[in-house]
Chains A and B, each alone.
Chain A
Amino acid sequence: MNARQIARLGLFGALWGVVEISLGAALQAAHVPMRGTLLAAIGITVALVGAAFVPRRGALLTIGLVAAALRLFGLSGPAISSVVAIAIEALLAEACLAAFGYRRCRASYVIAGAAAVLWDLFHPGLGALIIGGPGMVASFWRAANKAAQALHLPDSAPAALMVTLGLLRLAVGSAAGWTAHTLVQQLRRRFALDDA
């Protein structure tokens, strides 16, 4: 890997980190709903664009790990949940790109974006599993079913809600992947950039 590729990985990782730190703080202060999904979508778009200009195996994962490390060494103290989420999102997107043999087709970008952003749905579950133990996720599910009964909703309401939220995240992630591919094409045209 040459210095140009490493510089690109570092700077795109830094950009993802800036998004997480600056925009994340602003969204949290404004109590914006689904801010994790929004941050994941923007972050994975940045990472996919960056990885497109460093055609090497593990480029996207490196960008994600740099962003996660910036959260780890951040001035505001390590944010455990964010660090883990960024690393897992990058890993999922890298795995999707690898499954497509690192071909730069739009489909691979869309699937990588969708997989990364979908993780946002399961991340709180991982947190509950870690803090509450194996029984906690089942307890949440029972509580959701009781809440549905109390609200006179059908028994399938919690599952339907989960599916809806999952589809929403898949749509946002797919849009992020699609946007990343479009941006890569525009950047190549406008700046006559090559692959370093």
Chain B
Amino acid sequence: MAAAALARSHEVWPAFCVIVALSGVVEVRSLRRLTGRGFLAFAVVSAGLMALSGEPGGWAAAGPLVARGGMVVVGFGALADRASPAALEALAGRVRLRGFGLALGIALNSLDALRGTATDTWHALRLRGATRAGLRRAARLYAVALLGAVLTRADAVAVAAVSRGCDRRGERIPAAEPATVADRLVGLLAWLPALALLLRRAGAF
């Protein structure tokens, strides 16, 4: 994102090549996002708008826009595809955010239950006539009931976590899945455009 934001117009394409190459090394699957329907639609609409705008260069002026969008999509895709909860926990541990992995695990497991609690709480308050007392009072009652339910549930989850030994200190974080030979090969191939561009700029050909 920083590369996309900071690159000047003549640096956009080299930066795009480098980001694509790096993303390919980190996570090859992220490159598929460049052929996704969403990104292709963005590219076509950008080119169309630039052609209609009458800017010098016409639709070709959309190139840097598309390249910047591509950098964001591919770079973020590499993060989303590669990052696992375990990797995020390791990262959070390095910046002293302890317990992030367990908190994320609890959050992932509780999403549906919380959604159900939120709906049930609202229906219960409505049946008890809380909504007749005015929207503001109903909202306050709802917030207190829902947040109270969350705090009560947190106590139950904590007891369950302790009984399963989840609060043990010094537990090892599982290592990330190793990349296959094919992954590495595709990752190396992704470097070729960047290398070619660098050699061209250096006057090699």
Partner of A14, one of B8, B68, B110: B110
How far does the Cβ of A123 sit from chain B's closest Cβ, in whole Å?
13
How far does the Cβ of B65 sit from chain A's closest Cβ, in whole Å?
6
Q: Mark A73-84, 1 if CB is under 8 A from B, else 0.
A: 100001010001
In the bound complex, what is the Cα–Cα distance between A134 and B151 (angstroms)?
45
Q: Is the CB of A6 within 8 A of B68?
A: no
* Interface hit among A62-70, A111-119, A166-174: A62-70
In the bound complex, what is the Cα–Cα distance between A183 and B143 (angstroms)?
8
Q: Is the CB of B144 within 8 A of A186?
A: yes
Chain B interface main SS type: helix
Name 6 extra pairs, CB < 8 A, besides A8-B158, A78-B76, A133-B9. Answer: A15-B150, A69-B88, A72-B80, A78-B80, A126-B5, A131-B72
Partner of A65, one of B77, B97, B143, B150: B97
Q: Is the CB of B99 within 8 A of A6?
A: yes
A7 interface contact, C-beta 8 A? yes
A145 interface contact, C-beta 8 A? no
B103 interface contact, C-beta 8 A? yes
Once A4-B154, A10-B106, A134-B8 are accepted as A-B contacts, the answer to whether A65 and B99 lie under 8 Å apart by CB is: no
How far does the Cβ of A191 sit from chain B's closest Cβ, in whole Å?
5
B202 interface contact, C-beta 8 A? no
Question: Please, which residue of chain A has its CB at the minimum distance from the CB of B112?
Answer: A18
Question: Please, which residue of chain A has its CB at the minimum distance from the CB of B96?
Answer: A58
How far does the Cβ of B46 sit from chain A's closest Cβ, in whole Å?
9
Residue contacts A-B, CB under 8 angstroms, 9 given: A15-B146, A18-B111, A62-B99, A62-B103, A67-B107, A129-B5, A133-B5, A191-B152, A193-B151
A41 interface contact, C-beta 8 A? no
Partner of B103, one of A6, A80, A130, A132: A6
> Which chain A residues lie closer than 8 Å to B8 at the CB level?
133-134
> Which chain A residues lie closer than 8 Å to B69 at the CB level?
131
Question: Please, which residue of chain A has its CB at the minimum distance from the CB of B2?
Answer: A130
B83 interface contact, C-beta 8 A? yes
Question: Please, which residue of chain A has its CB at the minimum distance from the CB of B145?
Answer: A190
How far does the Cβ of B9 sit from chain A's closest Cβ, in whole Å?
7
In the bound complex, what is the Cα–Cα distance between A3 and B171 (angstroms)?
14
B7 interface contact, C-beta 8 A? yes
Kindly list the 7 A-B residue pairs having the minimum CB-CB distance in the complex, ordered from nearest. Answer: A10-B106, A10-B103, A14-B107, A4-B158, A6-B99, A7-B158, A7-B157
> Which chain A residues lie closer than 8 Å to B107 at the CB level?
10-11, 13-14, 17, 66-67, 69-70
In the bound complex, what is the Cα–Cα distance between A129 and B64 (angstroms)?
13
